[in-house]
Structure 1
């Protein structure tokens, strides 16, 4: 759900094909992405360290974030688990639970600790620049197999984040042109991150790591994905592994009789 500054919500009907409500749950019928989670795909196929795959999936994420940012929406929860593949292998950004419509800055501390930007930790307010920081973390993780500031506890992670990427020993797969891009995204000062400078996302497209990349084909979804999942039918769920342990805790909902959900279909 995407939040307005006044606390109201919007955009659900645009994100969902249909909406339904029951006594305990709101249901959003979304487009099926039957290729599975990118996180599971990377682990199952051993894709960490592959520049070919990283270029494609980072480019797709850039396009998705740019689409949201053009509409003043900050995503705030980028990680491999929130990237899905459709049946042709094209990338889909999912889970808008922390996305927010923002004019100026917002101060909510949220996200995944390994992906926290310095301004989130210091509570100085954040803008769309926070999403470009998470893109740098994602690229590092695609290549190294783990995020750059990973630690046993969140507090230790935050300490490393505040020290900066300059204190991180860059693995061989994260050196050279790709390392330059990672460091250009992981600037402590939000305004210095590559897409926040004059030129915006074109700075990423023109980066030396992306020399020769077909951005036009990427944006039109005509560029062949580096990996095409096996999907046998429109009901084939084999690319997902659902475990009971992964289900969220069920909290009984008490209706406050405000009829806030009266516009939802039933």
Structure 2
């Protein structure tokens, strides 16, 4: 996994009598969560860079039958401005069939994970969609201090595109959010398909 440019490299590993230690490359820019806290939200071009790089990392993992299961800003390290590396594989596992363990960060969990009906790679895509929502608007699509209500909102999966803050967001960006956060797992794009979405391609051209 460490051969991918957007996956954090493991440099060393060792153990003591009581603990195991993993040494990863230094991320001089901290993590994406801290950057979002400081800026509030990202421009569409910057957000597209983050999503494209993370989708590339997920495509690499999924091709090797690995699901990450904890995509969120805290697990994306910045080696330089908007150059991200996916880290924290503590919940990652090999996909040999449907998975049933409920795990991950609740706000970013896919509906099928919470329903315990079996899930796989599309759960990572949902989490990436939640991340895109956060990058564009500065907050998660489903929020509640009550976990039961939060889970109900997630499983319903209604994104409020009618809110005023969505008016400044491009049609292509809204389209990608809605596709990645489709409650029907079969209709979510694969990670490699996200890289070919018009919003990603258009933003890449603008950045070049």
Q: How many Å separate the matches in 2 of 1:94 and 1:163?
A: 29
Q: How many Å separate the matches in 2 of 1:162 and 1:213?
A: 31
Partner of 1:209: 199
After TM superposition, list the pairs within 5 Å mapping 1:82-101 onto structure 2: 82-87=75-80, 89-101=82-94
Q: How many Å separate the matches in 1 of 2:82 and 2:153?
A: 35
- Give per-residue Cα distances to partners, 1:155-200, cap 9 Å, x unaligned: 11111112222566543245622111100011111111022xxxx6
| CA 174–160 in structure 1, closer or farther in 2 if over 3 Å, else same | farther
Instruction: Note the residue ranges of structure 2 that are not aligned, 5 or more in a row.
Output: 1-7
- Give per-residue Cα distances to partners, 1:84-139, cap 9 Å, x unaligned: 01146521001001000112211110011111111111100111010000011000
Of 91-100 and 154-163, more deviation after overlay is shown by 154-163
Q: How many Å separate the matches in 1 of 2:137 and 2:160?
A: 16
Aligned residues: 198
Q: How large is the RMSD of aligned CA atoms in angstroms? A: 2.2
Partner of 1:182: 177
Specify the SS of the correspondent of 1:92. Answer: strand
Partner of 1:10: none
TM-score normalised according to structure 2 size: 0.86
After TM superposition, list the pairs within 5 Å mapping 1:27-176 onto structure 2: 27-44=21-38, 46=39, 48-87=41-80, 89-166=82-159, 169-170=162-163, 171-172=165-166, 173-174=168-169, 176=171
Partner of 1:259: none
Contact 1:165 1:186 in 2 (8 A): no
| CA 41–189 in structure 1, closer or farther in 2 if over 3 Å, else same | same
| CA 117–21 in structure 1, closer or farther in 2 if over 3 Å, else same | same
Instruction: State the shift of 1:17 in Å.
Output: 1.8
Instruction: Note the residue ranges of structure 1 that are not aligned, 5 or more in a row.
Output: 1-13, 216-222, 225-266
- Give per-residue Cα distances to partners, 1:37-72, cap 9 Å, x unaligned: 11101222x150411210110111101111111110
Larger Rg belongs to: 1
More helix by share: 2
Specify the SS of the correspondent of 2:148. Answer: helix
TM-score normalised according to structure 1 size: 0.68
